[in-house]
Structure 1
Amino acid sequence: MEDTTESPAIHPAIAPLSYLLGTWRGQGEGGFPTINSFSYVEQLHFSHSGKPFIAYTQKTWKLNSGEPMHAESGFWRPKPDGTIEVVISQSTGLVEVQKGTYSAEEKVIKLQSELVGNASKVREITRVFKLVDEELFYEVKMATNLTSLQPHLKASLQRI
């Protein structure tokens, strides 16, 4: 098979979310009622292969020391009706199946966990991504056996 450096054509199914494609980097803050607050550096990468999905990878590092923290990867599958399915596997062994909606005009994606697998305590996860003035913001909320849905992570990222 011939190796080409050209990117494949964007599949029509992912065109409404093509603004995500590329690498994003920035800082975030995390916390939860049961843990100490923390700050981190994060990098997200969204790519495509010409198929009707976006591949996703995420890595974080401690802000002060640069020590690796968390990593996850998965696939985002937008549908023509404005719904989206996202599958994410985390370095902790946790797996998320998320469903939600997107607005290409408002550049907002809202995800709600349908399944959180291999988690002893986590019961629910929501994620909201929003592009504002070329800056990608997100917020993650989480619920556990002991807590209702609470803010957990938020970050602001710029395309690099």
Structure 2
Amino acid sequence: MEGSAPPPVPSPPIHPSILPLSYLLGKWRGEGEGGYPTINSFKYGEELLFSHSGKPVIAYSQKTWKLASGEPMHAESGYWRPKPDGSIEVVIAQSTGLVEVQKGSFDAEKRTVTLQSELVGNASKVKEISRVFKVADGELSYVVQMATQLNTLQPHLKAVLRKL
């Protein structure tokens, strides 16, 4: 038929490797706040997307905006690779040019993921980043800590999001 849309492509089955983190899959939206000893504190809106293609990896993307104006702020994307032993490897590329290679662990029962940077590349000031994600009562919350040349690991970002 001319002009008709192609049939929708069914979602692939979830790979067994990512099944323990399948509660993350989907789009989340909410608000957060940030700060650091060297910057003014700020509030932001945020959207996270966790998706899969049927492979043993979760695709991750994030974008933030200024709450007052809707002006874009930060964006990043990457891949989460959970392992059967409860460990996880994550790579993230940020819109600022910074790249993170993180390793950590997840607890499917407690619905938590804890990440610690192994490498922070192309970052003149940032030396270390840690991230802790938790899903409870229908909300995804996280805390990001950061260390720079001038400061040890300290709180930088925190947010609470709800699944759309």
TM-score relative to the length of structure 1: 0.98
Counterpart among 63, 66, 85 of residue 67 in structure 2: 63
Moved over 4 A (4+): none
2:41 to 32, 37, 40: 37
Query: Quick check: 1:89 aligned with 2:105?
Result: no
Letter in 2 for 1:14: I
Alignment gaps of 5+ in structure 2? 1-5
Give the aligned partner of residue 31 of structure 2.
27
Task: Output the amino acid matched with 1:85.
Answer: E
Give the aligned CA root-mean-square deviation in angstroms: 1.0
1:114 has 2:118 as partner: yes
Q: CA separation in 1, counterparts of 2:44 and 2:97?
A: 20
Which of 130, 135, 141 is the equivalent residue of 2:139? 135
The structural deviation recorded for 1:3 is 7.1
Query: How many percent identity over aligned positions?
Result: 72
In the comparison of the two structures, how many residue pairs are matched? Answer: 159
Unaligned runs of 5+ in 1: none
Does residue 1:149 correspond to 2:153, yes or no? yes
CA distance in 2 between partners of 1:3 and 1:97 (Å): 38
Label 1:3 to 1:124 Cα distance change in 2 as closer, same or farther (>3 A): farther
| Cα distance, 1:5 vs structure 2 | 2.1
Q: Distance in 2 between matches of 1:112 and 1:146?
A: 19
The 3-state SS of whatever aligns with 1:148 is coil
Q: Determine whether 1:100 maps to 2:117.
A: no
CA distance in 2: counterparts of 1:59 and 1:83, whole angstroms? 26
Q: Distance in 1 between matches of 2:49 and 2:129?
A: 21
Partner of residue 15 from structure 1, selected from 12, 19, 27: 19
